[in-house]
Amino acid sequence: EQSLAELDPEIAAVLGGELDRQRGTLEMIASENFVPRAVLEAQGSVLTNKYAEGYPGRRYYGGCEQVDIAENLAIDRATALFGAGYANVQPHSGAQANAAVLHALAEPGQTILGLSLAHGGHLTHGMKLNFSGKLYDVAAYGVDPDSHRVDMDMVRRAALETRPTVIIAGWSAYPRQLDFAAFREIADEVGAYLWTDMAHFAGLVAAGVHPNPVPHSDVVSSTVHKTLGGPRSGLLLAQDGQRWGKALDSAVFPGQQGGPLMHAVAAKAVAFKVAAGEEFAERQRRTLEGARILAERLTAADVREAGVSVLTGGTDVHLVLVDLRHSALDGKQAEDLLHEAGITVNRNAVPNDPRPPRVTSGLRIGTPALATRGFGATEFAEVADIIATTLRDGSAADVLAMRARVDALTENFPLYPGLEQ
Ligand code: PLP
């Protein structure tokens, strides 16, 4: 049978080109990571051939005896990893997991209250073009205008005013930990359900370096591919299956999806096994250390004088939000300049951003992928200095010199050695 390169050289070239790009640049998009070879193997497997609508032991197709084993392993490992009594490992993505949560917890037209998109919330928490914004009545809390932190008094006031059916704790761009116990209290006070979307920080939770939202929340959703370092996909958890299990299972299938991607489910099982190990925990500690080193360098006097700063003054998680409102560079220019130097980040609106969303006045910079690549304090200090120098010097930056420093790092930390495409 023909190989991919023989059958479809154009797509084979894309795979090869992308592997080269990942190897030759520094990946600092906060929501990205590098999966282990074992996860690539499970995802590129014959499990992609199998229909398995339903759940283990209750499928609508025959021949599910092998995929049932994989799904049960994924469920058992996910519940053990997060101290949950219930897991659904079928959501194709984070957005689909979130659609299932709202489907289970609220009726269309009811009110949901989450972090404003402009302040770091996610599309599925109520953006007007997203299903969440179309089907539900959306209310939002913001971050404090001065500290840029989520202030629980503000959340409480918003909850008392809007009386939501669901309160959402979780974010896509926020550099601090949330107080899940305080969210729980507010939810109880106003009679709301608490949904935590831990898509970004699930890996930190698994490693025990971030509070676990599971004991405080009615439902927790996540992606598996950000800090958690597994295949691109979603996950649902709850303290136990009694209250929400049936509604969530039914919201995923048949509510949102048909056949689960069993190759992805198997790859999730592998990722959860990896995440339970000490090596993974050590990697998450390096992830946090790298973000702290970056925040420190980006608040030093030389960058401060160039108008560059860091929202909230630092970080407790795997990312740093750079504030460029007073810098000569806007978010787009800064992203492009770092891209030229070989560092991939994404521009990001800061709260109350004066610039339009396509330009923005900020950057979101994350450390998970580089920690996976093996970076420790020394390498993170070097990356931090490359970024700080580039942002400080702006259009006068010596991009070639920065690129050479990036090249030295990528060469010293080979990615997927031996992999061909
Ligand atoms: N929830 C949060 C908080 C996210 O940041 C993201 C991804 O950006 C998602 C959900 C959606 O995940 P996916 O891109 O897999 O649909």
- ipTM of the complex, rounded to two decimals: 0.99
Residue 283: pLDDT above 90? yes
Q: Tell me the mean pLDDT in the region 123-145.
A: 97
Query: 151 exposed, middle or buried (CB, 10 Å; 0-12, 13-18, 19+)?
Result: middle
CA 200/CA 96 separation, integer angstroms: 15
* Active-site residue, 382 included: no
pLDDT in tens, 337-390: 999 999 999 999 999 899 999 999 999 999 999 999 999 999 999 999 999 999
Choose among 404, 73, 101: nearest CA to 235: 101
pLDDT of amino acid 359: 97
Q: Give residue 420's pLDDT.
A: 83
Across the range 32-36, mean pLDDT stands at 98
Give the tens place of pLDDT for each residue, 42-75: 999 999 999 999 999 999 999 999 999 999 999 9
Binding site membership for (6S)-5,6,7,8-tetrahydrofolate: which residues?
117, 121-123
Taking residues 280-293, report their average pLDDT.
98
**Which one from 41, 51, 137, 149 is the annotated catalytic residue?**
51
In the residue annotation, 51 being an active-site residue is answered as: yes
Q: Give the DSSP letter of residue 254.
A: I
Taking residue 401's Cβ as centre, other Cβ atoms within 10 Å add up to 13
Q: How far apart (Å, rounded) are the C-alpha atoms in residues 92 and 102?
A: 16
Looking at residue 48, what DSSP letter applies?
G
- Measure the CA–CA gap between 304 and 309, rounded to whole angstroms: 6
Could you tell me the distance, in angstroms and rounded to a whole number, from the CA of residue 234 to the centre of ligand 1?
A: 9
Task: Give the pLDDT of residue 49.
Answer: 98
| Confidence tier at 82 by pLDDT (50, 70, 90) | very high
Report the nearest-CA residue for atom 9 of ligand 1: 94
At 133 the pLDDT is: 96
Read off φ and ψ for residue 393, nearest 5 degrees: -85, -20
Pocket test for ligand 1, best of 33, 112, 124, 196 (most atoms within 8 A of CB): 124
Q: Is the pLDDT of residue 178 over 80?
A: yes
Mean per-residue pLDDT, 84-88 = 98
Lowest mean pLDDT among 78-82, 170-174, 352-356: 352-356
pLDDT at 310: 98
The dihedrals phi and psi of 148, each to the nearest 5 degrees, come to 60, 20
Mean pLDDT of 93-117: 98
Q: Which atom of ligand 1 is nearest to the CA of 198?
A: 3
- For residues 17-28, give the mean pLDDT: 98
Average pLDDT for 263-274: 98
- Indicate if the pLDDT at residue 421 is higher than 90: no
Of all protein residues, the one whose alpha carbon is nearest to atom 8 of ligand 1 is 172
CA of 175: how far to CAs of 130, 238, 346, 410, in Å? 24, 25, 15, 26
Residue tagged active-site, from 50, 59, 226, 268: 226
Average pLDDT estimate for 142-166: 97
- If you average pLDDT over residues 126-154, what whole number do you get? 97
Q: Is the CB of 366 under 6 A from ligand 1?
A: no
